[in-house]
Amino acid sequence: MSRRIWAVLQHRDGKLHRMSWEAVAAAQELAGRLGGRVEAFLLGNGIEALAREVAAHELAAVRVADDPALADYTPGGYVAALAPVLRAEQPDLVLFPHTYQSVEYVARLAQASGAGLLPEAVGFELVDEQLIWKRPIFGGKLHARVRAKGAGPLLVSLQSAAFSADGLRAGAAPVQKLAVEIGADDAGREILGVEQAGGEQVDLTKADVIVAVGRGVGGADKMAPIEELAALLGAELGASRPVIDSGWLPRDRQIGSSGQTVAPKLYLALGISGAIQHLVGMKGSSVIVAVNKDGGAPIFKVANYGVVGDLHEVVPALVQAIGELRS
C-alpha cells in the first residue's frame, strides 16, 4: 500500500525554520522505508520564493496556501487552512517540526479533523511493518514507545535534531496552489506585536566556557562557590529554566529552547538533570561536563565527563584541583 506522507513546514521572515528540513528529510526516509510519497505544505502570504526553494527536493508536490489571512501565524488561521484538506484527503502521516508554533496548533488541528496526535517524537522503528514512535516522558528521564490505533491520519511533531537533515534528497517537485477559506473570526487573536523577553544584555553565544546551574543548586544563596569556579575558568554563568523561574539568576542567563542556544568549548552543567528543552540549547558544546547527584540523569547521556555527586561538595573540590593544577 502506498502511503501518503505530508510535511507541514514552518518559516519566519522569508526563511524556512531549520527544523522544517528535518521534517522533510524524515518524511522522505519514512516514504522510502514504508513505500509512499511525500508532499510538503507551506502556509503564508507572498511565499513563492520559499515554495521554489522547497520544490528543489524529492517530493511528489509542494502545496502552497498563499493568503493574506495567513500572513501572520495564528492557531485559528492555520487550523482553518489545514483541517478541510486533512479531512478530505486522509493522508496516513502528517509531520510537523516540534516548535513552539506547531505545538500550539497541531493538537487543535487533530481535534478539528478527527486525526490522531503524537507530540514530540524523537525516533521511529518498524516492527512487523508497524510504525512505533519513540518520545520522551517525565522530562526525558524515560522514553515511551508509542503506536497509533484506529483509522485515519496521525499527526506527529518531531523534536529538534531528532532527525538529521543531512540525508535530504534533491529533486524537482511541482508547486500546487492549495485553496483555503479563512473566516474573519477564525484567527481567534489580534496580534499586537513582538518583544524581547527580558532583554538580552548577556550574549552567552560568544563565551568559550560556560558554567551552568540547574535546580540542583538549591537557591540563590548557594551560588558563591559556583561564581568562584566560573571566575577561575573565565566562564560566563548560565542556567536551566527552573533556576530562572525561581529568580535565582536573571532571565538573560537562560540556556535552552526558550533561552539562548550556545556551543562553547567547555560547558559545565551543575545540578542540571537534562530535560530536552535544556539539551537543545547546549548539546552542540565541544566538551560537556555534568555534575549531578542522580547517576541516571539524562544530562550524562550527552556529557563527555560526569561526576555523580553533590555539586556543593564537588564544586569547591574542583576549585581546589584547578588551583593545584595551575600552581
Q: Are 211 and 230 in contact (CB under 8 A)?
A: yes
Q: How far is the CB of 42 from other proteins (least distance, A)?
A: 19
Beta carbons within 8 Å of 42's beta carbon, 6+ residues apart: 9, 11, 50, 51, 54, 62, 63, 64, 65
Cell 507572498 -> residue = 46
Q: How far is the CB of 174 from other proteins (least distance, A)?
A: 31
Residues 254-313 that bind other proteins (CB under 8 A): 254, 257-261, 265-266, 286-290, 294-296, 298, 300-310, 313
Q: How far is the CB of 265 from other proteins (least distance, A)?
A: 5
Cell 517537485 -> residue = 173
Residues 223-242 that bind other proteins (CB under 8 A): 233, 241-242
Q: Which CB sits closer to other proteins, 175 or 302?
A: 302
Stretch that binds other proteins, among 60-68, 86-94, 144-152, 175-183 (CB under 8 A): 144-152
Q: How far is the CB of 41 from other proteins (least distance, A)?
A: 20
Q: How far is the CB of 296 from other proteins (least distance, A)?
A: 7
Beta carbons within 8 Å of 27's beta carbon, 6+ residues apart: 5, 6, 7, 38, 40, 93, 95
Q: Which of 41, 96, 105, 248 is the binder for other proteins (CB under 8 A)?
A: 105
Q: Which CB sits closer to other proteins, 33 or 141?
A: 141
Q: Which of 56, 138, 181, 220 is the binder for other proteins (CB under 8 A)?
A: 138
Work out whether the CA dihedral 276, 282, 286, 290 comes out positive or negative.
negative
Residues facing residue 64 across a β-bridge: 42, 177
Residues 186-225 that bind other proteins (CB under 8 A): 188-198, 200, 209
Q: CB atoms < 10 A from the CB of 169, how many? A: 14
Cell 537533515 -> residue = 165
Q: How far is the CB of 124 from other proteins (least distance, A)?
A: 12
Residues 43-102 that bind other proteins (CB under 8 A): 75-76, 79, 99-101
User: Should residue 176 be labelled a site residue for other proteins when binding is judged by CB under 8 A?
Assistant: no
Q: Are 43 and 70 in contact (CB under 8 A)?
A: yes
Q: Which of 22, 39, 66, 120 is the binder for other proteins (CB under 8 A)?
A: 120
Q: How far is the CB of 52 from other proteins (least distance, A)?
A: 25
Q: Return the exposure string of 47-60: e unless at least 16 CB atoms fall within 10 Å of the residue's CB, then b.
A: beebbeebbebbbb
Cell 510504525 -> residue = 131
